[in-house]
Structure 1
């Protein structure tokens, strides 16, 4: 299930029906967050790597409002955080 707030989206997991990519240990009620960024994703990736944050991407995805490109990181509790920019 996805909750949309303007141009933002939160994916809520249903146990047994998770989507990829997902939280490291998805449980019922865990969430993945998708946050929109203004900077180029190259700049976002460079800033993350400059702070020794592991990231995956950029990858093409479909966001709440159409085609987007995203980079993924994990928070300290291993939840998935998507940093996305619409094309």
Structure 2
């Protein structure tokens, strides 16, 4: 396991172990970990089997979905903050 993947995994585990887990932070570390795994798989693209390519496709789709969820969550938080500003 490369150092960058090990570090991304370490960060993700740290976020999961927090008492008060923040969805955004956990999602960011999960995205980073997935990115690192995809990058490692792409380096070995020449020796990939058909199954490896399917896994790579699923990991890429997962990362995109997670990024979309995170983007949507950020929009929600901004909208809530605006509403609170108007009230207060």
**Considering the TM-score relative to the shorter chain, is it more than 0.5?**
no
Q: Which has the larger radius of gyration?
A: 2
1 or 2, which has the higher strand percentage?
Answer: 1
Relative to the length of structure 2, the TM-score reads 0.25
Relative to the length of structure 1, the TM-score reads 0.25
